[in-house]
Amino acid sequence: MPPAVSGSYAEYAVAPVQSLFRLGPDVSFEQGAALPQQGLTAYGVVHLGARIEAGQTVLIHAAGGGVGLLAVQMAKRAGARVLGTVSNEVKAEAVRGVGGEALAYGEDLARRVLDATEGRGVDVVLDSVGRATQDVGLEVLARFGLLLFYGDASGPPIPIDPDRLYERSLKIGSYTLDVDHRPERWAAARQELLRLVEEGALHLNVSAVLPLGEAAEAHRRLESRASVGKILLDTQG
């Protein structure tokens, strides 16, 4: 089998049939385009990486993004209370719209997280930002809490001295999407994600659909952190 490669802007692409989502009449093509990468990433980080359980309190960084909004919903479905960090009020409204509690970034973020949890802290921090939010994540963890990195939008995390972890028995972990590991689990995940979308139990937030000729504008919106949810490119536009 040839090695897997990335080719998002290729004119043609070949994919193994088991990696595809079969869209039924209740799922639009736009929804189908917004679901696979971000849906599977959110599913994996919530259920396989962090193994979030009912009764936990979770802090999700970049909660207004495509993966973030899906992770908020999946953690809520697992029975957790979810706090989500955001960079503006539009994203805060999106987070609240899917059941999360929005917190704006700021120098006092750690204090506000601790205030929201009556000083206890959170059981899990899901962090796709990396270096800029690393210290806050460690500060707000409750005893036996887990800080799980699955991205580094602000730069890679700084190596952590284990001595910082002992007092509260904290854990540090990482997650990356690997659909070749236990493929039967991912086949089931694809079916579950489609079912949730069909039933209206999982909301896919598509903030813009741009023609392929405006791909640069799509990247600018992503880099400016102005986009909420998913941006799609229309190859027919």
* Cα Dmax for the chain: 57
Collapsing DSSP to helix, strand or coil, 131 comes out as helix
Type of residue numbered 201:
A
Q: Which two tokens stand for residue 120?
A: 């206890």
Give the 3-state DSSP-derived string for 53-111, with helices as H, strands as E and coil as C.
Answer: CCCCEEEECCCCEHHHHHHHHHHHHCCCEEEEEECCHHHHHHHHHCCCEEEECCCCHHH
Burial of residue 192, with CB atoms counted within 10 A of its CB: 0-12 exposed, 13-18 middle, 19 or more buried = middle
Q: Which two tokens stand for residue 65?
A: 């993004």
Beta strands in 150-218 (DSSP E): 171-174, 206-211
Q: Where are the domains of the chain?
A: 37-174
Q: Which CATH superfamily is domain 37-174 in?
A: Medium-chain alcohol dehydrogenases, catalytic domain (3.90.180.10)
Kindly list the distances between the CA atom of residue 29 and the CA atoms of 22, 26, 85, 202, 217, in Å, as whole numbers in the listed order.
10, 10, 30, 16, 22
pLDDT in tens, the chain (237 residues): 445 556 667 777 788 888 888 888 989 999 998 999 999 999 999 999 999 999 999 999 999 999 999 999 999 999 999 999 999 999 999 999 999 999 999 999 999 999 999 999 999 999 999 999 999 999 999 999 999 999 999 999 999 999 999 999 999 999 999 998 899 999 999 999 999 999 999 999 998 899 988 989 988 988 877 778 889 988 876
Find how far residue 111's CA is from the centre of its chain.
23
